[in-house]
């Protein structure tokens, strides 16, 4: 092949490569219209079609005012929309500890960790006003927010909000229950040895301090032996 021949072959090849590179289409940039992207195809210039008035996504009709808004006949509900059983209260407790305890603390006195770090203290659930409030009020506070407190409706589905409200009722009862409220067969459990007293706690702290002194001692020996 002469020198001329090879250059007459190379030039078109290079041009071809250049063209191919320029026409490159990455997978992340596909020729489709993304949500809310502009498009000259429709006369209003929008790629997405506006929803028809009163369109409701499947499964999101939320017709039941009691279940979704905690209201019956426009008034805050006095009762939950379904029966409350042990499993539901357990679920409520678990969700309460996740979503509410950071501020309201685990028994609902309003001294959660976020409050101890500076947020304004919420009222205790054990004040008379909130003990007398209908269960729907707690659902309503979670659904719409209350003063400084944000709404939790986008994070907690309505069934779980009711479960939490039922658990708040349990917390309230627990702080004001009398021995007569406890079923007779469960009363012996209340007379079990109480959790650590002040004296036990001091002993535990002493043990911890001695243990860490021992660890420091061992580490000191290791340092000296090096």
Does the footprint of ligand HEC cover residue 93 (CB under 6 A)? no
CA distances from 47 to 54, 162, 175, 196 (A): 21, 40, 58, 66
Helix axes 135-144, 158-176, angle to 10 degrees: 130
Write out the E strands in 13-96. Answer: 71-72, 75-76
Q: How many whole angstroms separate alpha carbon 22 and alpha carbon 15?
A: 11
Does the footprint of ligand HEC cover residue 80 (CB under 6 A)? no
Does the footprint of ligand HEC cover residue 21 (CB under 6 A)? no
Does the footprint of ligand HEC cover residue 116 (CB under 6 A)? no
Tell me which residue has tokens 């209350």: 146
User: Closer CB to ligand HEC, residue 149 or residue 170?
Assistant: 149
Q: Output Rg (C-alpha) for the chain, integer angstroms.
A: 33
Min. distance of Cβ 174 from ligand HEC in angstroms? 16
146 three-class SS: strand
Does the footprint of ligand HEC cover residue 70 (CB under 6 A)? no
* 18-26, 63-71, 74-82, 116-124 -> range binding ligand HEC (CB under 6 A): 116-124
Q: Using CB under 6 A as the criterion, what x/- string covers residues 196-225 for binding ligand HEC?
A: ------------------------------
- Closest by CA to 161, choosing from 127, 134, 136, 128, is 136
Min. distance of Cβ 57 from ligand HEC in angstroms? 25
169 three-class SS: helix
User: Closer CB to ligand HEC, residue 12 or residue 147?
Assistant: 147
Q: Per DSSP, what are the bridge partners of residue 67? A: none
Q: Using CB under 6 A as the criterion, what x/- string covers residues 121-160 for binding ligand HEC?
A: -xx--------------x--xx---xxxx--x--------
- Residue ranges that bind ligand HEC, judged by CB under 6 A: 99-100, 102-104, 114, 119-120, 122-123, 138, 141-142, 146-149, 152, 164, 168
């Amino acid at each position: 092949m002469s020198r001329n021949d090879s250059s007459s072959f190379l030039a078109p090849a290079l041009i071809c490569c250049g063209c191919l590179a320029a026409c490159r289409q990455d997978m992340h940039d596909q020729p489709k219209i993304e949500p809310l992207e502009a498009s000259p195809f429709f006369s209003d210039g929008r790629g997405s079609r506006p929803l028809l008035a009163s369109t409701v996504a499947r499964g999101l009709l939320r017709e039941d005012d009691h279940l979704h808004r905690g209201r019956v006949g426009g008034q805050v509900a006095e009762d939950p929309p379904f029966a409350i059983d042990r499993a539901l209260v357990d679920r409520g407790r678990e969700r309460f500890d996740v979503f509410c305890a950071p501020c309201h603390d685990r028994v609902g006195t309003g001294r959660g960790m976020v409050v101890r770090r500076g947020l304004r203290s919420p009222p205790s659930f054990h004040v008379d006003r909130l003990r007398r409030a209908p269960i729907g009020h707690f659902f309503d506070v979670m659904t719409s927010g209350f003063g400084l407190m944000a709404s939790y409706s986008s994070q907690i589905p309505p069934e779980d909000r009711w479960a939490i409200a039922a658990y708040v009722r349990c917390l309230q009862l627990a702080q004001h229950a009398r021995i007569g409220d406890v079923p007779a067969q469960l009363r012996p459990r209340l007379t079990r040895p109480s959790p650590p007293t002040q004296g036990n706690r001091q002993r535990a702290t002493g043990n911890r301090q001695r243990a860490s002194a021992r660890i420091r001692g061992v580490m000191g020996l290791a340092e000296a032996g090096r």
